[in-house]
Structure 1
Amino acid sequence: MKEYIVDNENNKMRYHDLPGKDTPILFIHGLGCAGSFDYPEVAAQTDLIEHRRILIDLLGSGFSDKPDDYLYTIKEHANYLYNFVQDLKLDKFIIFAHSLGGPIALELADKCRDNIETIILSEANLDKSSEGSSSYEFGNYQEDDFVNGIFDEVVNENSSVNSMWSSTLSVCSSTAISRISKSAVVGEEPSWREILYSLQCKKTFIFGEKSLPDDDQIELERHMINIEIVKSAGHSMAWENPKGLAEAIKKGISYAREL
């Protein structure tokens, strides 16, 4: 694992950088997750093995630092990732992002449009969080209440019904989870959906088969966004079918390279 100093406070983001000669893929994880936890098996699949694969743990998650005084907004995450890809000298790269990692990916792509070969999103948030989502629920609590009790309750409640997410959520900063959730509830202007539609590169959106039907599939296709389906999986497709997710990512890359 490697580390990258994010700011003048010496806060460090940690990441895996797996070698490959083909275009680098930057993996951005979702709420309460971590690249080091979610994506090693996906990245190891034959379909992606020729690519350089960069698996990050966002600040506040996984093995990265968790400062309590950090803002943890979607825009702040995108800002340090922009510096990160510049310092890695990624002249051309692919972004893959899942769930609430999607808005971060889109803010990043908006800042470096000329460097993006393609962007591939899996069940990503395109609009501000709405009722029924975890980020909406978390973001509507007072931060002190969430940090000092509700966070632990959520971890415990999910320990049996969603043990994978519970395990990775448990090592996140409760402050970071609260603040990025509030950021997701507030949203941005232009919206993340508008940014996606405005990107000039080819784009792919991935659904888990168990998440369908989804009204957004038709809307995305109407905007010339390629759709891929991961069989035998729902929202947590990296855990449920890592081989299928790798295949879908590869199809997204191949779609972008079609003449």
Structure 2
Amino acid sequence: MKEYIVDNMNNKIRYHDLPGEDTPILFIHGLGCAGSFDYPEVASQTCLINHRRILIDLLGSGFSDKPDNYLYTIEEHAKYLCNFVQDLKLHGFIIFAHSLGGAVALELADRCKENMETIVLSEANLDKSRRGSSSYEFGTYKEEDFVNGIFDEVVNENSSVNSMWASALSVCSSTAISRISKSAVDGAEPSWREILYSLPCKRTFIFGEKSLHDDEQIELERHMINIEIVKSAGHSMAWENPKGLAEAIKRGILYARGL
């Protein structure tokens, strides 16, 4: 694992950088997750093995630092990731992102249009969080209440019904989870959906077969977004069908290359 200093306070993100000759893929994880937890099995699949694969833990998650005085907005995550890809000299790269990580990825993509080959999103947040989503629930609590009790309750409640996510969430900063969730509730201007539609590269959106939304698929296809489906999986497709997700990512890359 490697580390990268994101600011003048010496805060660091940590990441895996797996070698490959083909275009680098930057993996950005969702809420309460970590690249080091979600994506090793996906990234090791035969169809992606020739790519350089960079699996990051966002600040506040996984093995990365968890400062309490950081803003943790979606915009702030995108800012340091922009510096990160520039410092790694990724003059051509692919972004893959899941769920709320998709909002971070889209703000990053908006800053790095000229250096991107394509963007591949899996069930990404394109609009501000709505009632019924975890980020809406977390982001509408008072931060003090969430940090001082509700966070632990959420981890405990999910330990049996969604143990993989509970495990990853338990090592996140409760402050970071609260603040990025509030950022998701607040949304962005332009919206992440508008950014996606405006990107000049070819774009792919992945659904899990069990969580496919027909109306959303139709809307995305109307804007010339390529759609891929991961069989036998829902929203947590990296854990439910890692091989299927890797193959869907690769199909998105081949689509962008006209193959």
**Length-normalised TM-score, structure 2:** 0.99
Q: Within 5 Å, give how 1:1-259 maps onto structure 2.
A: 1-258=1-258
Counterparts of 1:220 and 1:138, CA distance in 2: 27
Residues in 2 aligned to 1:52 and 1:146: alpha-carbon distance in whole angstroms: 38
Q: Which runs of 5+ in 2 are unaligned?
A: none
Deviations 1:187-225 (A, max 9, x none): 010000000000000000000000024321000000000
Shift of 1:239: 0.1
2: CA distance, partners of 1:247 / 1:112: 25
Equivalenced residue count is 259
Report SS of the residue matched to 1:215: helix
The Cα shift of 1:130 comes to 0.3
Which whole-Å deviations, capped at 9, do the CAs of 1:101-159 have from their partners, x for residues lacking one? 00100000000100010000000000000000000000000000000000000000000
- Indicate the SS of the match to 2:89: coil
CA distance in 1, matches of 2:242, 2:89: 29
Offset of residue 55 of structure 1 = 0.0
The aligned amino acid for 1:250 is K
Output the CA distance in 2 between the equivalents of 1:24 and 1:36. 17
Deviation of the 1:41 alpha carbon: 0.1
TM-score of the superposition, structure 1-length normalised? 0.99
Which residues of structure 1 form unaligned runs of 5+?
A: none
For 1:255 and 1:138, the matched residues in 2 are separated by 36
What SS class does the counterpart of residue 227 from structure 1 fall into? Answer: strand
Letter matched to residue 48 of structure 1: L
C-alpha distance after superposition, 1:12-53 (max 9, x if no partner): 000000000000000000000000000000000001000000
CA–CA distance in 2 between the matches of 1:140 and 1:214? 28
3-state SS of paired residue (2:228): strand
Runs of 4+ in 1 over 4 A off after TM superposition: none
Q: For each residue in 1:160-205, what CA deviation from the matched residue of structure 2 results, as whole angstroms up to 9, or x when unmatched?
A: 0000000000000000000000000000100000000000000000
Supply the RMSD in Å over aligned alpha carbons: 0.6
Aligned partner of residue 214 in structure 2, secondary structure: coil
